[in-house]
Amino acid sequence: MRRVLAILYSLVIGAVLVATIAAQRGQQSSRAITERAVGAAEAFLAMLTPEQRALTGLELNAKTRSTWSNVPGCDGMIRNGLPLGVLTSAQEQAAMALVAAALSQKGLAKVMAIVDAEEAREQSVPPQFRRTARGKPWRKQFCLAVLGQPSTAGTWMLQFGGHHLALNITFVRGRRAFTPTHTGADPAIYSLGQGTVRPLGDETDAAFALINMLTLEQREKAIAGSVAPDLVLGPGEDSRTIAPAGLKASTLTMAQRAQLLALIGAWVGIADDDTAAQKLAEIRSHLDDTYFLWSGSTLPGGLVYFRIQGPTVLIEYSMQEPNHVHTIYRDPTNDYAGIAF
């Protein structure tokens, strides 16, 4: 009996040690990610002139953190920061190195595909009809701002955005929150170089796969109509709330639940791998209380709006016109890391 107890004790101690080591490695990984972002932020800010830094390194408060949009422009009213188009080549490289430091590889690829969509749209029309801002192409009107003092122990934000993009990444004592995030694309499908690019292809494909996995009874609960409205909780709607509606995930099969998580992961995965893994685990723990709502066509290529809403996640997707998509990703409990001013 003592031998059995000793073996069990050894197994328990071993499990505790493994869990402790894993937690320590996770903390080290998380700390390393924050340190990398802080270093990139400090390097970028150090390259700016005093005038540039006054426009890019801003105080973090309720007003500055909420100054973001999905439309082009940087003027302190629509969006904080300096546009890439006014930076030197070295400064722009440092700016993009900062953005890359905070994202996963997939997240960075998505962001750059959204930026490149601006160039693709410009190239699709004759030069005399191309839209520019202050003499610069729209892709040069993506703006970067650092709110607060970059630190591994304090609170600060990184904002990067432009047409169809708004990243709001809040760092709090080494942890990171990626909501609210706006991603979109116009065009949503384009050719650049030798390939076809779909900035939101994963989201779109996963969504149509899920709606077409549902039974007729499930569809009756999920589908709210035939119209594809715009986002309800997009830019400027931080304080607004909406009631959950649609099909409850607790009624889904295991395969349908897996597909719903894959769909959610297309947004959550823009974050660094450590943050994304923790966030997905949190969303999975509340999956039974998550709702899936659909409006519009159920055929790929059709106009559609859908919403995923759970205790710690809210995602909206709106294809209002062919080849033009808006989306928003929020956390009702943790937008801007839940900081109160």
Residues 251 and 124 grouped into a single domain: no
Residues 31 and 164 grouped into a single domain: yes
Would 21 be classed as within a structural domain? no
What one-character-per-residue DSSP string does 141-190 give?
Answer: G-EEEEES---SSSEEEEEEEETTEEEEEEEETTEEE--SEEEEESSSSE
What are the b/e assignments for 216-247, b being 16+ CB within 10 Å? Answer: eebeebbbbeeebeebebbbeeeeeeeebebb
Residues 108 and 140 grouped into a single domain: yes
Residues 154 and 251 grouped into a single domain: no
Instruction: Provide the Cα torsion 231, 234, 237, 241; round to 10°.
Output: 50
Would 191 be classed as within a structural domain? no
pLDDT at 22: 39
Q: Can you tell me the distance from the alpha carbon of 132 to that of 277, in angstroms, rounded to the nearest whole number?
A: 39
pLDDT at 268: 98
pLDDT at 13: 34
Would 3 be classed as within a structural domain? no
Q: Which residues of the chain have pLDDT under 70?
A: 1-28, 123-138
Map 183-216 to HEC letters: EEECCCCEEECCEEECCCHHHHHHHHHHHCCCCH
pLDDT at 232: 97
Please, are residues 275 and 176 in contact by the beta-carbon 8 Å criterion? Answer: yes
Residues 147 and 257 grouped into a single domain: no
Please give the residue range of the domain that contains residue 329. 199-338
Q: How many domains does the chain have?
A: 2
Residues 157 and 248 grouped into a single domain: no
Residues 145 and 210 grouped into a single domain: no
